């Protein structure tokens, strides 16, 4: 079984990236041929228009993933654009993609409904994502619920191609990421760069503590009991706490007689301690960028072998290459 996932290099990883996806991706790694993880720099071109920034974000994403526990001996890590076969397969899929299917996709519809500009890259994003998945014979694709539609599009395109040209593609299945890992931002909304409410994984401890102390809370008096469920500060603390610590904090909420500043201090302590080993690994990796690039190069070489096999299969099936 091959697991495949990609992450866009659009900025530094925040807690939502880590707990909502990256941690679960890393839990699924087993061996290099069974887990493919790529940095989706082609997808990022729909939002990042600065070449130097995109290059830096791409390297930073690789360093972050390695620091957080992705092991090149247990997974294949590479940059999307280092496997040009994916773009070739994308064209083969585009030739059979109904316009109406893409017009119904959420990201495109959302921008259009808000009167925002959209380009062909955003419109065709689901087809490139389908090529990413199909070109490695992926069996399992971990995604959030908001990405489920893209997996359905991928399966539709694969089924259509298989119908017209014979069995060519493996039909992938989605693995919905743990919904309990939803991470609130400092304002209580879903943590997202687009909302400007993030807490970065590799933020300096002193800066992180200041950011946590500024988290918005309600104005209920200290003595008033409070229900912990649904409270975003409690949710953030729960990301790091043991079951016993979480129960103790919940009891404190329900008892009342405490200030939110007390919770913030405990959250800051727990977060700094939790990410300390990863911060140390990141500092070491940052000083050795050539080693990181070597990991990416080795990963791309391994990924291209599989991609070339699947692309050739698709080219022969649809007639753009003679059968070998």
- Respond yes or no: is residue 111 known to be catalytic: yes
Q: Which residue in 109, 112, 173, 193 is the catalytic one?
A: 193
- Respond yes or no: is residue 193 known to be catalytic: yes
Q: Which residue in 109, 112, 173, 190 is the catalytic one?
A: 190
In three state form, how does the secondary structure of the chain look? Answer: CCEEEEECCCCCCEHHHHHHHHHHHHHCCCCCCCEEEEECHHHHCCCCCCHHHHHHHHHHHHHHHHHHCCCCCCCEEEEHHHCCHHHHHHHHHHCCCCHHHHHCCHHHHHHHHCCCCCCHHHHCHHHHHHHHHHCCCCCEEEECHHHHHHHHHHHHHHHHHHHHHCCCCCCCEEEECCHHHCCECCCCCECCHHHCCCCECCCCHHHHHHHHHCCCCCCCCCCCCCCCCCCHHHHHHHCCCCHHHHHHHHHHHHHCCCCHHHHHHHHHHHHHHHHHHHHHHHHHHHCCHHHHHHHHHHHHHHHHHHHHHHHHHHHHHHCCCCCC
Q: Which residue in 111, 112, 175, 265 is the catalytic one?
A: 111
- Respond yes or no: is residue 306 known to be catalytic: no
Show which residues are catalytic: 111, 190, 193
């Amino acid at each position: 079984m091959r697991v495949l996932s990609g992450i866009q290099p659009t900025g530094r990883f925040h807690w939502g990236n880590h707990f909502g996806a990256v941690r679960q991706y890393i839990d699924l790694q087993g061996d290099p041929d069974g887990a493919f993880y790529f940095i989706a720099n082609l997808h990022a071109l729909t939002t990042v228009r600065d070449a130097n920034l995109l290059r830096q974000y791409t390297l930073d994403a690789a360093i972050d993933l390695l620091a957080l526990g992705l092991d090149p001996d247990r997974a294949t890590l590479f940059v999307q654009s280092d496997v040009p076969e994916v773009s070739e397969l994308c064209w083969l899929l585009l030739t059979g993609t109904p316009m109406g299917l893409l017009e119904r996709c959420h990201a495109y519809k959302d921008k259009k409904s808000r009167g925002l500009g959209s380009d062909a890259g955003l419109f065709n994003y689901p087809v490139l994502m389908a090529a990413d998945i199909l070109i490695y014979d992926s069996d399992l694709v971990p995604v959030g619920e908001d990405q489920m539609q893209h997996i359905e599009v991928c399966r539709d395109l694969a089924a259509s191609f298989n119908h017209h040209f014979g069995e060519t593609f493996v039909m992938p299945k989605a693995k919905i990421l743990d919904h309990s890992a939803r991470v609130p931002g400092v304002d209580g909304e879903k943590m997202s760069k687009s909302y400007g409410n993030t807490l970065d994984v590799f933020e300096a401890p002193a800066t992180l503590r200041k950011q946590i102390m500024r988290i918005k809370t309600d104005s209920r008096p200290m003595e008033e009991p409070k229900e912990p469920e649904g409270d975003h500060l409690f949710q953030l603390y729960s990301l790091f706490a043991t079951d016993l610590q979480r129960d103790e904090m919940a009891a404190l909420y329900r008892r009342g007689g405490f200030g939110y500043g007390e919770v913030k201090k405990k959250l800051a302590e727990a977060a700094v301690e939790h990410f300390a080993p990863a911060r140390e690994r990141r500092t070491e990796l940052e000083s050795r960028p050539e080693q990181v690039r070597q990991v990416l190069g080795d990963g791309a070489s391994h990924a291209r072998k599989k991609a070339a096999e699947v692309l050739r299969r698709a080219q022969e099936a649809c007639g753009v290459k003679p059968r070998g």
